[in-house]
Structure 1
């Protein structure tokens, strides 16, 4: 049985390396729309693939110099957090520029490499070697404590940035299917799982000191993560490029035109004009409706319309538009001419783009699912 699991893990890890390299080549190929975010995602996948390869073969098949150093831990692990952060920066419109400040993210990675390659060289006397070997367990625990703290810190920053970006997106688009929301939630879930596994490794080292299974298990976990990211990435075109709507909501710190002066107090006449336009022209039926496109049709600036909706109506653009779509679906449900449409058909006719978003928004405004609401009409 042990031989079977060993062969299975070998197959999984080898396949993980191959898939990681394949997705990297796919992301960087000329046929894929260029995106700076893809660069960091590609480096992240390569780092994970290299870590799998190194765990699997270093010192067993490949006998290079790093197999003989005093290892504090795999330094590649310390690349995952910074690369995730840089990927999120690019994905949310914050352009990453190479600088000394950027290099600070990689100091832990470089430090572990430096220490690992110099400890045996400069502490070659028997006393120093005996001391290092005698405290190898504590050194491993220290590495994993830092690893868990660093990874947790980056995931916290990523989640904080993502929540701010979601609020920003809801000020611009009326449908979020094209701005990678599901993709980001998915990959954050994958790396949260990796963090929990790292924490499990740390607790095992503290209480049992057994690290025999750690390397092979990490290789399998990384491989399964690469499978998930590669599979989801191939299915989700949003991984390959940022939709244009995302560039409309880039914060002013990035290269965008100077924002226009804000209106101090929303004009009631403008509010009435907006509400009449929504009722008469029904722009919400367009699933691609954005704040910028609606402002153009109203002959207003983007900032004027944004403040008009936020302060005059008391809602963000996303909820403002989708509330009209929910009311339109309810009207369709009461229209005998629409009886041949199913619920998804009614949602698409009202401007929604997916069943999941429709169900979520409908229940948010009515307190009932579309099916439950339809049953109340039947009664």
Structure 2
């Protein structure tokens, strides 16, 4: 048992380290980090109990409160993937059962240290019965909610959806089957209580390790995909195999490298064209809540690839790129008002173009035109009046 626990805790720690050290992190990844931290703490606590406690009651029959955190964290992760504007902290109350169980767990542990296991047996039994019901309910409700939410994720989030569904199924199926089989064995008098509990623990901890490995595999795949390596490899397959076999190794490597660079450049040009079309035809910039994540999802292009194209190919940040189109839209609306002989409401037109604050609108408008919106309109009116006078004269 100790070996299983230490391997699982080490596995969770490695996955957590890779998640924290990666350069291609997404907003939702922090919730995966919290889940891995909980798994590492869970298995480490059990390792300490099994390694240093001589009491079978503690080893086999003292539920860990961390089980109650997995369901809410998985639900928050699914919510964050679905909507990057989702703020997990606003649903902190979902972790309230975990916090209350943690308080009870620490209080009982303190009592065990000071008074011994036997004196706390009654409290351990009460704690186990209460947390068991909560854990089963959590592993039933949250995975079902998550599976339903995963059906609404767009195809762009295919790898995230696959991970979410896998974790939800593992949290739903394994604990509930364990609970059901344990009740059947208990009613039929099969095996001793200690044996059943040990088997339950082994299966439960193995399930956590499988989930850790799933997250680790997802992270490795995510690093590969968002860097564009998969796309580049597909486009770099040699189309002239006979010619390449005639090249010496050094020339062949150079030839492949050139083709890879060309494919990478062509990929970025295609993404740049997609970005411009999204702005010019679809007018994505009019969405005041538009984010890099949201735009990448709409284009079905990895977020980090969109960011790289903006910064390196178009030489603009995301907000510079979007707000320049918004300024152009405001100027177009100004001209339409002028043609209709209507005095424009500057702020209303700014909001219509996608700006969500007066300060950012004024800042970007002046940066783009060299004038404030009011100055721009005054010059336009003056130019129109001079044109009219000249025509009349």
- TM-score scaled to structure 2, two decimals? 0.49
1:362 match: none
Question: Does residue 16 in structure 1 map to residue 23 in structure 2?
Answer: no
Shift of 1:115: 2.1
RMSD: 4.3
Shift of 1:44: 0.8
1:218 match: 204
Q: Is the 8 A contact 1:81 1:151 kept in 2?
A: yes
- Residue of 209, 214, 224 corresponding to 1:228: 214
User: Matched residues in 1 for 2:110 and 2:222: separation?
Assistant: 48
- Cα distance 1:103–1:218, how it changes in 2: closer, same or farther (>3 A)? same
Question: Does residue 200 in structure 1 map to residue 177 in structure 2?
Answer: yes
User: Matched residues in 2 for 1:187 and 1:300: separation?
Assistant: 31
Higher relative contact order (CA 8 A, sep 6+): 1
1:106 match: 95
Shift of 1:199: 0.5
- Cα distance 1:71–1:22, how it changes in 2: closer, same or farther (>3 A)? same
Q: Deviations over 1:19-40 (max 9, x none)?
A: 32122112212x5134331211
- Cα distance 1:142–1:238, how it changes in 2: closer, same or farther (>3 A)? farther
SS in 2 for 1:157: helix
1:61 match: 51
User: Matched residues in 2 for 1:122 and 1:27: separation?
Assistant: 37
- List gaps (5 residues or longer) in structure 1: 1-5, 167-175, 242-285, 305-316, 319-379
Q: Deviations over 1:96-127 (max 9, x none)?
A: 4465x432111111111222333587898999
2:152 match: 164
- Cα distance 1:149–1:38, how it changes in 2: closer, same or farther (>3 A)? same
Q: Is the 8 A contact 1:180 1:239 kept in 2?
A: no
- Cα distance 1:120–1:234, how it changes in 2: closer, same or farther (>3 A)? closer
Q: Is the 8 A contact 1:44 1:80 kept in 2?
A: yes
Shift of 1:184: 1.9
1:117 match: 106
- Cα distance 1:17–1:120, how it changes in 2: closer, same or farther (>3 A)? closer
Alignment size in residue pairs? 236
SS in 2 for 1:25: helix
- Residue of 132, 137, 145 corresponding to 1:149: 137
SS in 2 for 1:61: helix
1:32 match: 23
Q: Is the 8 A contact 2:68 2:134 kept in 1?
A: no
Q: Is the 8 A contact 2:74 2:164 kept in 1?
A: no
- Residue of 61, 76, 84 corresponding to 2:66: 76
User: Matched residues in 2 for 1:86 and 1:216: separation?
Assistant: 27
- TM-score scaled to structure 1, two decimals? 0.50
From the CA coordinates, give the structure whose radius of gyration is larger.
Answer: 2
User: Matched residues in 2 for 1:70 and 1:96: separation?
Assistant: 39
Shift of 1:197: 1.0
More helix by share: 2
Shift of 1:77: 0.9
